[in-house]
Amino acid sequence: MTINVGDKIYLKKSHPSKTIYWTVLRVGTIYKLQSNLESNLIVEFKKENLIKNIKRIESGD
């Protein structure tokens, strides 16, 4: 599973902000994801935790 900057990630559990998908801002040991609804809402995941929580990935291209 390859995750790149700009990809849209759909998670298994919904966020309290009702975010539908997250956009990848940073990849590495820590992944930063930005909400599609609120540009100032950013969450960080460790790689292992993110891989477990991913439902679907759409390419950002």
Instruction: Please report, in tens digits, the pLDDT of each residue of the chain (61 residues total).
Output: 789 999 999 999 988 989 999 999 999 999 999 999 988 999 999 999 999 999 999 997 6
pLDDT score at 61: 66
Taking the C-alpha atoms of residue 34 and residue 37, their distance in angstroms, rounded to an integer, is: 9
Q: At residue 25, what is the residue type?
A: L
pLDDT score at 60: 72
Compute the C-alpha angle 39/45/50, nearest 5°.
110
Domain boundaries, the chain: 8-58
CB neighbour burial string for 21-56, b if at least 16 within 10 angstroms, e if fewer: bbbbeeeeeebbbbbeeeeeeeeebeeeebeeeeee
Entry field: residues in the chain: 61
pLDDT score at 22: 96
